[in-house]
Structure 1
Amino acid sequence: MTPRVVVTAAAAGLLGELRDKHGPLMFHQSGGCCDGSSPMCYPDGDFIVGDHDVLLGVLDTEEDGVPVWISGPQFQAWKHTQLVIDVVPGRGGGFSLEAPEGKRFLSRGRAFSADENAELNASPVITGADYERGERPPDRAPVVSAAADACPVPAGRAEAVKR
C-alpha cells in the first residue's frame, strides 16, 4: 500500500538522537497558529490524540516506530497528499523536541496519483479512537534517502530549475 507519510534519512537520524534523550516519540502535524504547519515532535503520549485525529502512519525508525497524527479536518484537506517529514537547519517549533538542536522538522508534500488515491480511498483510516482500541497499520512508513526521492521535480520543471 502507498504510505501516507514517509521520513527522510536525515530526519530519521535526528529522531534517533531525540529518542535517546526523550524515549519513544510521536508526531502531530500542526494545523497552523504559532508554529505554522510544522510536524511537531513530542515524547509519545505527551500530546493528547483526539478520537477523530487520523494516523497517517508509523515511521519505521525505531523498535516501536514513531506514529504520525493529523487532525481529522486537516486530514480531509491533505488526504490527497503524501506527507514527507524532512529536517533542515534552523530553529524548530517552540513545543517540538528538536527546537534546541539547531534543526527543525519540515513537512513537504507530494500529490498522490489517481491510482494511489483510489488505493488509499479503498482502505479505512485509523482514528485516535481506533488506535485506542488497539488498531495498528499493517506496515511501517518507510525511510527515504532524501526528500527528492519522495518529491521529485517534474521532468519539465527539472530543466527550468537547472537554468
Structure 2
Amino acid sequence: MEYTVPRVTITDEAKEIIDQLRERHGDLMFHQSGGCCDGSSPMCFEDGDFRLGRSDVKLGEIYDCPFYMAKDQFEYWKHMQLTLDVKDGRGASFSLEIPTGKRFVIKSRLFSEEELQVLQPVESVDA
C-alpha cells in the first residue's frame, strides 16, 4: 500500500523560520508533548537535544526535520492533520525560534474517511 497523506505539513512562513534556525543551529527536530502551557506548542530543538523515549512517536518529517509527539497526546490528534505554522509573538519556552519574535503553532483539520485509509504510518521511538 502506498501512503500518500502526511500526518504533518508545514507553511511557507514556517519554512522561512526553519531556514534561519538551520543557519545558526544546524539540523533541527520538533516535539509536541501536549502538556500545559508551553508543552501544548510545538517545540523546535537542535536535532538530538530533546531526549526522546518510549512514550513518543514520530509522525513524520517536515522540511527535513523529524516531528515527534507524546503517544498519549497522539491518541487525541490521530484523526487530524497537523500543520506547523508561525505567528508573531514570543513564547516562554526553550524552543529555538523564540529570539526571532515568532513562535511555532499547530493548526489542525480532521482527515477525511478516504485520507484515513492512506495515512502515513507513525513510528515508535525505541529509546
> Whole-Å Cα distance in 1 between the matches of residues 6 and 13 of structure 2?
19
1:4 is aligned to 2:7: yes
Return the offset for 1:124.
4.3
Higher helix fraction: Structure 1 or Structure 2? 1
Aligned partners of 2:56 and 2:124 also within 8 Å: yes
Question: Runs of at least 4 residues of structure 1 off by over 3 A?
Answer: none
User: What residue is the counterpart of 2:82 in the other structure?
Assistant: 83
Change (3 A) 1:93 1:81: farther
Structure 1 gap segments, 5+ residues each: 133-163
The residue that corresponds to 2:41 in the other structure is: 38
1:58 deviates by: 0.7
Q: Report how many aligned residue pairs link the two structures.
A: 124
Q: Is the 8 Å Cα contact of residues 31 and 74 (structure 1) preserved in structure 2?
A: yes
Please tell me whether the aligned partners of residues 38 and 93 of structure 1 are also in contact (alpha carbons under 8 angstroms). no
TM-score normalised according to structure 1 size:
0.71
Match in the other structure for 1:138: none
Match of 1:127 in 2: 124
State TM-score, norm by structure 2: 0.90
Distance in 1 (CA, whole Å) between partners of 2:51 and 2:93 is 17
Q: Work out whether residues 44 and 96 of structure 2, in 8 Å CA contact, stay in contact via their aligned partners in 1.
A: yes
- Measure the CA separation in 2 of the matches of 1:93 and 1:44: 20
Identity of aligned residues (%): 52
State the 1:69 CA deviation.
0.3
Mapping of residues 120-159 of structure 1, within 5 Å = 120=119, 124-129=121-126
Tell me: CA distance 1:54–1:90, structure 2 relative to 1, closer, same or farther (3 Å): same
Say yes or no: does 1:103 pair with 2:102: yes
CA contact (8 A) 1:28 1:40 kept: yes
Q: Is the 8 A contact 1:92 1:100 kept in 2?
A: no
Aligned to 2:54: 51
1:89-143 CA-partner distances (Å, limit 9, x unpaired): 00034210011110000100011001111223xx6421112xx7xxxxxxxxxxx
CA RMSD of aligned residues (A): 1.5
Per the TM alignment, residue 36 of structure 1 is displaced from its structure 2 partner at its CA by 4.7
What secondary structure is seen at the aligned counterpart in 2 of 1:47?
A: coil
The one-letter code sitting in structure 2 at the alignment partner of 1:44 is D
- Equivalent residues of 1:93, 1:104 under 8 A apart: no
**Structure 1 match to 2:23:** 20
